[in-house]
């Protein structure tokens, strides 16, 4: 291998190492072999994976070289559906979001802001003014947004193009039934046609998969505007026809099992290592910690550190920490 080839190989290795692991995995799956290191310029395959990357990965890749940056900035298709999630959600502000959305050149179709705590009413309204054809607006847990600010944004969208079809407002504080009625009117929604939500399916799949136009409704128990779930159990479905006995409500009013999504009473739950609510039927089916006999629910199953092959079961994080502390203490 001559000097130029060696230099190209080094450049490629530096480029690859500067990419997030998720991007490296996508490229390695293409099985390009030595073709990837024949030139110091990015391989064509790197342009093919752009549509598969999230916002954080796109921004990281754009810092690798000028050619990739220009390709990402100039491809309008990459910016029509913007999803801001971890780790960007805690850092992005109005100015940065306005810069990203401007790359859609007024054709933004969906804006999904997951827990973006620095986005304000004025910042969101500026973006909406520049992108009147927005079809999806998801702003769950964007704590600086106010109900009146969201109403102004929704009215602006529906007055300009009337293309807004989906609105997600989970954990937008101080929403009232009056605000909800305005949203229903703007989106031309009949609340009676909204499909009931079951906590099990909502917990396993993100809010993106919810087919209802609006995710929140008035809780029949506390009258607050929140996510409201119905019980999947057949014995409880008949109760929903009788409002006084119905087990339909928000999670604060009616605790639900993380395993099956059914309603549970305080004396019908099993203790878990993750402190989540699990009914006794689901508790019996979950693997337990070898020391405290507490399971993890399905949502926290990734926390399980299984014992070596020659033994069975696992030790939960709490017991593991207590063991380490005991071993480290002087005799």
85 Cβ contact list (under 8 Å, min separation 6): 54, 55, 56, 112, 114, 115
Domain residue extents for the chain: 1-74, 76-236, 255-331
What CA–CA distance (Å, rounded) separates 9 from 34?
Answer: 10
Please tell me the chain's helix, strand, coil percentages from 3-state DSSP, rounded to the nearest 5: 45, 10, 45
Calculate the average pLDDT of the chain: 82
Which of 192, 194, 254, 245 has its CA nearest to residue 222?
Answer: 254
Burial class from Cβ neighbours inside 10 Å (0-12, 13-18, 19+) for residue 219 reads: buried
- What is residue 39's predicted lDDT score, i.e. its pLDDT? 45
pLDDT by residue (tens digit) across 104-115? 999 999 999 999
Is 169 within 8 Å of 215 (Cβ atoms)? yes
What is each CA distance from 178 to 25, 99, 121, 142, 226, in whole angstroms? Answer: 49, 33, 19, 20, 14
- What is residue 233's predicted lDDT score, i.e. its pLDDT? 81
The correct answer on CATH 3.80.10 for the domain covering 76-236 is: yes
- What is residue 36's predicted lDDT score, i.e. its pLDDT? 44
Which of 283, 296, 289, 293 has its CA nearest to residue 314?
Answer: 289
Is residue 225's pLDDT more than 90? Answer: yes
pLDDT by residue (tens digit) across 124-164? 999 999 999 999 999 999 999 999 999 999 999 998 888 89
What CA–CA distance (Å, rounded) separates 165 from 113?
Answer: 16
pLDDT by residue (tens digit) across 240-259? 555 545 788 998 998 888 88
Rounded to an integer, the average pLDDT of 49-60 is 90
Q: What is the pTM of this model?
A: 0.77
- What is residue 226's predicted lDDT score, i.e. its pLDDT? 93
- Length of the chain in residues, anyone? 331
Out of 96-100, 226-230, 275-279, the most confident range is 96-100
């Amino acid at each position: 291998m001559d000097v130029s080839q060696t230099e190209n190989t080094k450049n490629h290795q530096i480029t690859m190492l500067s990419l997030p692991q998720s991007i490296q995995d996508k490229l390695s799956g293409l099985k390009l072999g030595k073709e990837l290191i024949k030139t110091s310029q990015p391989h064509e395959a790197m342009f093919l994976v752009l549509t598969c990357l999230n916002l954080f990965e796109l921004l990281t890749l754009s810092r690798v070289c000028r050619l990739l940056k220009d390709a990402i900035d100039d491809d309008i298709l990459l910016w029509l559906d913007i999803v801001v999630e971890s780790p960007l959600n805690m850092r992005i502000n109005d100015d940065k979001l306005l810069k990203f959305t401007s790359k859609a050149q007024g054709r933004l179709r969906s804006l999904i802001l997951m827990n973006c705590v620095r986005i304000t009413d004025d910042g969101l309204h500026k973006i909406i003014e520049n992108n009147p054809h927005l079809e999806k607006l998801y702003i769950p847990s964007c704590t600086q947004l106010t109900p009146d600010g969201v109403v102004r944004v929704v009215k602006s969208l529906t007055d300009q193009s009337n293309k807004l079809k989906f609105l997600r407002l989970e954990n937008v504080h101080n929403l009232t039934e009056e605000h909800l009625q305005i949203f229903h009117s703007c989106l031309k929604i009949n609340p009676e046609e909204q499909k009931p939500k079951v906590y099990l399916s909502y917990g396993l799949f993100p809010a993106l998969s919810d087919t209802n136009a609006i995710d929140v409704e008035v809780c029949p128990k506390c009258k607050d505007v929140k996510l409201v779930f119905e019980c999947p159990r057949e014995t409880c479905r008949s109760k929903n026809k009788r409002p006084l006995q119905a087990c339909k409500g928000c999670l604060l009013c009616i605790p639900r099992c993380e395993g099956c999504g059914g309603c549970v009473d305080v004396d019908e739950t099993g203790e878990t290592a993750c402190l989540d609510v699990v009914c006794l039927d689901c508790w019996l089916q979950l693997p337990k910690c070898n020391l405290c006999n507490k399971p993890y629910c399905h949502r926290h199953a990734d926390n399980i550190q299984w014992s070596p092959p020659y033994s069975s079961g696992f030790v939960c994080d709490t017991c593991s920490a207590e063991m380490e502390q005991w071993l480290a203490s002087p005799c």
